[in-house]
Structure 1
Amino acid sequence: MFIDSVSFRVSSGHGGAGAVSFRREKHVIMGGPDGGDGGDGGDVYFLVDNNTHTLAAYKGKRHLKAQNGEAGMPKRMTGKKGESLTLVVPPGTAVYDADSGELLADLTQQGQRVLFLKGGKGGLGNTHFKTSVNQAPQHAQPGLPEESVNVRLELKLIADVGLVGFPNVGKSTLISTISNAKPQIANYEFTTLTPKLGLVEVDEYSGFIMADIPGIIEGASDGRGLGIQFLKHIERTKVLLYMIDLANYRELGEQYATLKSEVQKFSPLLATRRYAIALTRADACDDMGKVAEFIAGLGLGDGGEYLQDIYEYDESLPFFVLPISSATGENISRLKFELLKLVKDEQ
């Protein structure tokens, strides 16, 4: 099950109380205080693990807590430290304060280990309070309380290229054709219900990660459809690939304008990412003249395709506009190489 957002309360451990104790042994007269210190409470850590791909392990959890420290004991024995709690999350997990919305941690690197909450310190035993005027102290410190936070975890997948398009425009077909991803493919809208990642190998030494999300429809930013709730999964991408369907009943310009508008409404920052345009299902298009018309409408020329020089890239314009067909393989290799150039230029 793919879960990308969960909320729960997390707490560190309470510090153990110090002990009030006096030494009592045969032949030891008035042995004095010997109460041990309490153990520290357990800490809370977040650990990033590439082998974890979802937050499903935390679904339904209400309160996760580290172990409390144990109380001190006689003979100056310190109580056992509470066991720490380690929360394992996939790369790309953002930790927010559920009450204020503040970003508390952004976890992106494999093996990244972050101390999130410190356990309460154990209290001092009465042996620490012996003085010349108080040689039999009857008190010890209680342990310090734990720290608690209501958190919201949000998973934002980490990829180089994010696919943006209407439902059923060929996003899943493309990612299954050029990568190792195996998404569900069918001839109806919203086949893709969860985001998918795929590794695209361009040559023996180069490649990039591509992310496919559910299709976006007009009004998605107002809650319609599925795509808007998954747009967060392409917030971290370096490049956006807008996929426009040549066989769709909508005009090419209308599809493009709607997608750009919905991305802009979702995140103005995401809308500034470098981008390119793939015109899908070229094999099913009888009138390739509308490709030239679309490109001319963007102010990019009057040809059947458009590519910029990487060294003179105007970021307000698409890096390329390329008709493709996943079914026949038309321009697929070229698409991979052009996307790789754009990804490398962002590094």
Structure 2
Amino acid sequence: MADTTPEALARLRELVSDDLERTNRIIIEQLDSHVEMIPTLGQHLLNSGGKRLRPILTLIAAKLFGYQGNDHALLAAVVEFIHTATLLHDDVVDKSNTRRGRATANSVWGNKAPVLVGDFLFSRSFQILVEHGDLRVLRIMADCCAIISEGEVMQLVASNDLATNEARYLDVVKHKTASLFASASQLGAVAAGRSDEEAAKLSEFGLKLGIAYQVVDDALDYASQSDELGKNVGDDFQEGKMTLPVIHAYAHAEGEEKEFWQKCLEEDEQPEGSFERAIALIRERGSLEYAMGKARQFAAEAKAALEGLPDTPEKQALANLADFSVDRSY
């Protein structure tokens, strides 16, 4: 039976606890720099209570195939560095003040330092990969970083644009978020020396998991509490992000409703009470239920991608993670 409780995530971590500890040691070692701002700012975000899902995916995928070496921990550290770099850049672009309940780096140090430290983390990641010496791994992560960057630009272009439809939104999600989930999962299979076919299954799992996870994140911005979510609810609305609940609500809006969305998002006019009105309209149109239905569809596709892989506790843990991704409140 699938486990969708928060304990499912804890059990997933337990399966790779030693490997995750090794990964954390590598992260600390590789953050070292004679430029004091780099480890200080990097540690600020790395220690802010993140779930470490992406590096865990690399570790659990390798363990699924019985891998006994150490390379997967090194690759998991690279995955976390790249994720951390994107968060530093995201918070500057989005002008975010909190993440995971703590002040963002840009709210503490300003915009310049987080951007530059993010650049350092990207650069250090590729130093590690070059030293690792596996061109297959290097290609996966180089492609992934390019795709993520494309996704960031795609989201920027789509912001405040009510012409953004569901297909365009999902394309942004695939690039900006799901691509790293996919690469993290694929790296575990590659580290274990598995075939391209098996690695592709893990990549497909990660991609669909990442889409489901982001769709839920976007829905929670209109359905959760700030202390649960780890960020200020309503941030997406204030930033004019075209997420699935908004896209669905606008597509089914009529008359004055359409004018409301146009003023709030395209014209960036949000008088007091606008966010509460947005939530009410989203609920009236069943847009949260629609978004969650889509998330469950992608979670089911993620689990289907695991078919044919070894029946191990790790495989079950990944399936549970797919279920947890759509049944969480944070």
Question: Fold match, TM over 0.5?
Answer: no
Higher RCO by CA contacts (8 Å cutoff, separation 6 or greater) = 2
For normalisation by structure 1, the TM-score amounts to 0.28
Which structure has the highest helix share of the two? Answer: 2
Q: Normalization by structure 2: what TM-score?
A: 0.29
